[in-house]
Structure 1
């Protein structure tokens, strides 16, 4: 008896397997890139502070650098889940600042409190802290299929606005490097897909 292999189904399965293997290889490449970036972040921690204008427009290579800036005027407040330097959790209060030389889009994390209510005792002034990206809330998987929107720099202030507790300083060790695990998952998915298809073919031939 001739054992025929369904052409269309086989092509689709092989295409899916090839795509999963490609994603696994891409994750391995991203792993090496992330390791180099984490080493750069660790070096940035030890560098001398600079004016934030020296790092703008910001890219990943400037993250975790100590910077200084002038918040000329607070134009609004937003909140996000935050961790204080003393270990407590609460609401991080992020000020949107109107600035001069630093340009538009500068945000400053001015501390943590148990309440989401915006602080009222700080309207701007000099700030010092470390620069990171303002969280955008976009799921990581979405970055595979859509272009990331322009990101906004965020200075996590060393000090806190009146009534707030200083936010925990940004730590490069908190940046995940899970690309090896993701690569293994994609390779496993490819293997499982081949096994399932082989079982399906075997049952079909029986």
Structure 2
């Protein structure tokens, strides 16, 4: 009977090593993708804030020509609040408050990041109104695995308020190109090198195992 697996290769360790190598390669490819996304983001931050204001998009996706453009909307009513970690314009960390608003009779909604506070359980007093800022995207809270293996997610547009309508909240600020690190290319190279090193080391271990088996037989 013909063997489909080399005699001196242990099955389970080999499968584990190859799975780990595949994961490293996948992470390297993802880092390359993120490098391109960061380059595009930096270009948008440099160029788009100087463009003329535009109307707030009702649905996603938020195209590159929209991001960081000045805009405004009228929030008829705040349906509920979303609270997550965030950073204010002065650099202080805290909790970002995002209002889920209704904006029309048909129930078309909009997201508004109204500001950053120091407490996660504050009861915002803002119930709606006209608010201005710049166009961004809703936060993507998917895990890394979901981002790598899941379908492309269409993120909804979100208005980041230029001035918070709530006194207890600090406003956010437009990101600056110098504040956006793009080390993803070097990370990709590291993951690919890790994969190569793992294969080389395991290949040497298999060679030694084969020689030992031949000597014992």
TM-score for the superposition, normalised by structure 2: 0.75
Distance 1:22 1:80, change over 3 A: closer
Aligned partner of 1:184 among 160, 182, 189: 189
Task: Write out aligned runs for 1:16-27 (5 A).
Answer: 17=21, 20-21=24-25, 24=28, 27=31
Deviates more, 1:178-187 or 1:13-22: 13-22
Note the C-alpha offset of 1:64: 1.6
Kindly report the root-mean-square deviation, in angstroms, between the aligned alpha carbons of the 2 structures: 3.2
Aligned partner of 1:59 among 44, 57, 62: 62
| Matched-pair contact (CA < 8 Å) for 1:158–1:166 | no
> Which runs of no fewer than 5 residues in structure 1 stay unpaired?
none
Whole-Å Cα distance in 2 between the matches of residues 52 and 72 of structure 1? Answer: 15
Whole-Å Cα distance in 1 between the matches of residues 96 and 164 of structure 2? Answer: 10
> Which runs of no fewer than 5 residues in structure 2 stay unpaired?
1-5, 213-217
Aligned partner of 2:134 among 93, 105, 130: 130
Note the C-alpha offset of 1:128: 0.7
| Matched-pair contact (CA < 8 Å) for 2:60–2:156 | no
| Matched-pair contact (CA < 8 Å) for 2:79–2:101 | yes
The Cα offsets for residues 68-102 of structure 1, whole Å up to 9 and x where unpaired, read as: 11111111112112222233332222111000299
> Residue in 2 aligned with 1:72?
76
Whole-Å Cα distance in 2 between the matches of residues 86 and 93 of structure 1? Answer: 16
1:153 and 2:119 aligned = no
- Following TM superposition, the consecutive aligned residue runs of length 4 or more in structure 1 with deviations greater than 4 angstroms are 4-23
| Matched-pair contact (CA < 8 Å) for 2:62–2:137 | no
Whole-Å Cα distance in 2 between the matches of residues 179 and 22 of structure 1? Answer: 13
Distance 1:101 1:191, change over 3 A: farther
| Matched-pair contact (CA < 8 Å) for 1:82–1:92 | yes
Distance 1:112 1:21, change over 3 A: closer
Deviates more, 1:189-198 or 1:32-41: 32-41
TM-score for the superposition, normalised by structure 1: 0.78
> Residue in 1 aligned with 2:199?
194
| Matched-pair contact (CA < 8 Å) for 2:51–2:69 | yes
| Rg larger in structure | 2
Whole-Å Cα distance in 1 between the matches of residues 153 and 59 of structure 2? Answer: 17
| Matched-pair contact (CA < 8 Å) for 2:62–2:136 | no
Find the residue that maps to 1:51 and give its secondary structure.
Answer: coil
The Cα offsets for residues 26-70 of structure 1, whole Å up to 9 and x where unpaired, read as: 6435524542343133211221211103x7433241222211111
